[in-house]
Amino acid sequence: MELKNIIKLIHTVSESALSSFTLEEGDMKISLEARRDIQTVNISEGNPQISAAVNVIPSAASTPEPEIAAGNLIKSPLVGTFYNAPSPDAKAFVQAGDMVKKGQVLGIVEAMKLMNEIESEFDGIVEEVLIGNEQMVEYGQPLFRIR
């Protein structure tokens, strides 16, 4: 199973009322179990087993979303942890007011120990950074506003 499908599965289960879910495909087994505000993900393929605790994000119905002004939004393509710089002691990729080009790296979302670069889809100026460093993000969550 591809990583993007695993992430989509995690997102789908976290939004549902399920308390546990198991999928076996060949020699790979994925188990998801929701407990209060933590969700445990166990993935085994052959002998090795990977476990991760994932914060369950409340549904949109229970938590009002903050109003985001108009503009070209760059949204997270997956669930994970957002990083604004390539390393803890490095300068942020971009800040509000910076000029960016299409394809320029704006940040990184880490999902299951894989670092995924978030690139600008537009030329313009970073009007607002909508996420803080090392914060959890969900699929489709706005990260940057470009004008």
pLDDT one-digit tens code per residue, 125-139? 999 999 999 999 999
pLDDT (tens digit, 9 = 90+) per residue, 57-95?
A: 554 444 454 555 556 899 999 999 999 999 889 999 999
Give pLDDT, residue 22. 79
Q: What is the pLDDT of residue 2?
A: 72
Q: What is the DSSP string of 71-105?
A: SEEEE-SSSEEEESSSSTTSPPS--TT-EE-TT-E
Per-residue confidence (pLDDT) for residue 137, from 0 to 100:
92
Which residue type occupies 13? V
- 72-146 belongs to which CATH class? mainly beta
- For residue 54, the cross-strand partners are 39
Contacts for 14-23: CB closer than 8 Å, 24+ residues apart: 14/39, 14/54, 14/56, 14/57, 14/79, 15/59
In the chain, what are the domain boundaries? 3-55, 72-146
Full-model pTM? 0.53
Greater confidence (56 vs 80) lies with: 80
